[in-house]
């Protein structure tokens, strides 16, 4: 009975070890990917042609929560959008906004969009020129991850990324050392048993 309990305890510990290692590895690789991708592109990280952008306002709640990461698709014909589409556009001060199209306005050869945040009481003050639209929101969002990404892209955050890396390397080294000890111990036990058997024969 005691032996069974020990075996069960060992299985649980091994399972927790695997989970811990996997989580550390995922966090490390994910953060490294985000930082490297954003540095390489000179801005927001990209995955398979989709840009990942951080939303730090609540204007599109409840669909897009404050601090979310969203995926947007850049490029294409920026005059194609219709009411209810969600677009990312650049304001005059260079700030990126993601809001919903409420109306399409044709002014001569130009196409403009009236936009509004779902959580705002009124439409945005200025219509958006189609040439100022940079991407279309795909509907993919991860709540609250934006806070972590913003921090990871800062100097302090990039430095702190070393911590899960060091922990992972140290933990992996300890696991390897432990496994080698067990193999060595098992080999010594086998050698003793062989010697004992040869003496008996």
Would you list the DSSP string of 170-198? Answer: HHHHHHHHHHHHHHHHHHHHHHHHHHHHH
What integer pLDDT is reported at residue 10 of this predicted model? 63
Q: What is the CATH number of domain 44-143?
A: 2.10.109.10
Give residue 181's pLDDT.
Answer: 73
What secondary structure letter does DSSP report for 169? H
What's the confidence (pLDDT) of residue 5? 53
* C-beta atoms surrounding 56 within 10 Å: 11
Top-confidence residue, 162 or 115: 115
**Residues 6+ away with beta carbon under 8 Å from 168:** 21, 24, 25, 28
Bigger pLDDT: 176 vs 131: 131
Catalytic residue among 37, 38, 41, 57: 57
Query: Is this structure's pTM higher than 0.85?
Result: no
Residues 104-137: pLDDT tens digits? Answer: 999 888 999 999 999 999 999 999 999 999 999 9
Q: What is the pLDDT of residues 39-93, one digit of tens each?
A: 554 556 667 778 888 888 999 999 999 989 899 999 899 999 999 999 999 998 8
Domain-wise residue ranges, the chain: 1-43+149-178, 44-143
In the chain, % of residues over pLDDT 70: 54
- pLDDT tens, residue by residue, 2-12: 555 555 666 67
Kindly tell me if the per-residue pLDDT of 36 is higher than 60.
no
Residue 74 DSSP SS3: strand
Rounded to whole angstroms, what are the CA distances from 112 to 63, 83, 132? 24, 12, 9
**Arithmetic mean of pLDDT, 19-40:** 62
Higher pLDDT, 13 or 129: 129
How confident is the model at residue 50, as a pLDDT?
85
Task: Say what the pLDDT of residue 99 is.
Answer: 97
Whether the CB-CB separation of 56 and 70 falls below 8 Å is answered with no
Contact indicator for 102, 116 with CB cutoff of 8 Å:
yes
> Is 57 in the active site?
yes
Average pLDDT, integer, range 180-199: 61
């Amino acid at each position: 009975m005691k032996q069974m309990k020990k075996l069960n305890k060992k299985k649980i510990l091994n399972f927790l070890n695997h989970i811990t290692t996997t989580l550390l590895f995922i966090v490390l690789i994910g953060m490294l990917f985000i930082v490297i991708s954003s540095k390489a592109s000179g801005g927001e990280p990209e995955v398979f042609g989709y840009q990942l952008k951080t939303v730090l306002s609540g204007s599109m709640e409840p669909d897009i929560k404050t601090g979310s990461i969203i995926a947007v698709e850049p490029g294409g014909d920026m005059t194609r959008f219709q009411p209810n589409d969600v677009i990312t556009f650049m304001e005059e001060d260079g700030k990126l906004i993601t809001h919903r199209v409420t109306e399409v306005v044709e002014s001569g050869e130009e196409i403009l969009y009236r936009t509004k945040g779902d959580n705002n009481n009124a439409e945005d003050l200025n219509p958006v020129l189609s040439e100022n639209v940079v991407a279309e929101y795909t509907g993919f969002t991860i709540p609250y991850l934006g806070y972590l990404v913003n921090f990871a892209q800062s100097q302090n955050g990039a430095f702190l990324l070393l911590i899960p890396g060091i922990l992972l390397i140290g933990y992996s080294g300890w696991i390897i050392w432990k496994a080698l000890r067990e193999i060595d111990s098992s080999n010594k036990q086998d050698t003793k048993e062989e010697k004992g058997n040869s003496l008996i024969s």
